[in-house]
Amino acid sequence: RPGAKKAPGAYCTQFSKSRTPRVYMSAYTGSFQHVTTLAHELGHAYHGWVMRDMPPAERRYPMNLAETASLFFETAVADRLVAAAPTAAARLRYSWYDAEAAGAFL
């Protein structure tokens, strides 16, 4: 829940011993940005999960590969949210957020 003492942010981490990913997200409100951020982090978690049985040395990968699953999840969820928006104004607003996120990534 949002609060004055919570720093905004989200990340995914992998636990080596249990070979399980965990996602942390603070101040979740259900907004378009928060839903797509959560989808992004769940993409990282999925990537970690499918690589869990590989030897540790083979689980290292470059940043462009690390972002592949996460950007796929984020884009798929954003596209669905835009398509399911209840009004034309909401579709425009969601599309604008999505375009801003793409611009920030570049």
In a domain? residue 3:
no
Asked if residue 1 is part of any domain, the answer here is no
Residue 45: the pLDDT is 97
Domain count, the chain: 1
Domain that holds residue 45: 9-105
Does 100 fall in a domain?
A: yes
- Give the confidence band of 15 by pLDDT, cuts at 50, 70, 90: very high
In the predicted model, is pLDDT for residue 1 greater than 60? Answer: no
- Answer whether residue 94 is part of any domain: yes
Residues 6+ apart with CB under 8 A from 74: 36, 37, 39, 40, 43, 101
pLDDT computed for residue 11 by the predictor? 95
On average, the pLDDT of the chain sits at 90
What pLDDT digit, counting tens, does each position of 32-59 carry?
Answer: 999 999 999 999 999 999 999 999 888 8
Tell me what the mean pLDDT of segment 90-96 comes to. 93
Top-confidence residue, 51 or 106: 51
Look-up of token digits 């989808």: 39
Summarised one tens digit per residue, pLDDT across range 54-82 is: 998 888 889 888 899 999 999 999 999 99
Q: Which residue, among 10, 61, 69, 74, has the nearest Cα to 44 in the 3D structure? A: 69
90 located within any domain: yes
4 domain-assigned:
no
Is the pLDDT at 3 greater than 90, yes or no? no
